[in-house]
Amino acid sequence: MANNTVTLHRVLTATPEKVFKAFSTAEAYAAWLPPYGFTAKVHQLDFKTGGAYKMSFTNFSTGNGHSFGGKFLDIKPNEMIRHTDRFDDANLPGEMTTTIRFAKISCGTDLHIVQEGIPDAIPLEMCYLGWQESLEKLKKLVEPEIPDA
């Protein structure tokens, strides 16, 4: 976790297409990205290279929240997403870059996430902890096989 960077790795028993869809669909993204105890709202999601997004997290207990957004630098369907993140809060300055890689493996998807440029005010262990919670929610969204009704 050096240089204000966190790196995460998960193996999911879902196809890269299904996992990628959880990152590229506003409703799905809002469902799994916020850590436990937070809700999320996607205000804008122009999911294409050069497109932008805007969203907010709200603490369910206190009602306090923060908003952030960024631009999609590179998207390769079912393989890779690279985007920027910038908090609207002046106390959390700077721009982060997040790279998500999806690789097809025998049992599903090998998922790698690297988030760089995390603001100094955010302890890296808390960022890592939040990501772990989010990825647990992602797993619960993409791994179930639910037949069509």
Domain boundaries of the chain, sorted by first residue: 6-142
Whether the per-residue pLDDT at 62 is higher than 60: the answer is yes
Label residues 13-32 b or e (16+ Cβ within 10 Å = b).
Answer: ebebebbbbbbbebebbbbb
**Tokens at 73, concatenated:** 């630098």
> For 6-142, which CATH class?
alpha beta
- Supply the DSSP symbol for 47: -
Instruction: List C-alpha distances in Å: 45 to 24, 54, 64, 116.
Output: 8, 7, 23, 21
Whether the per-residue pLDDT at 97 is higher than 80: the answer is yes
Q: Which residues pair with 44 in a beta bridge?
A: 54
As a whole number, mean pLDDT of residues 34-59 equals 97
0.75 exceeded by pTM: yes
Instruction: Write down the pLDDT at residue 146.
Output: 87
Chain segment 3-26, per-residue pLDDT in tens:
799 999 999 999 999 999 999 999
Mean pLDDT taken over the chain: 95
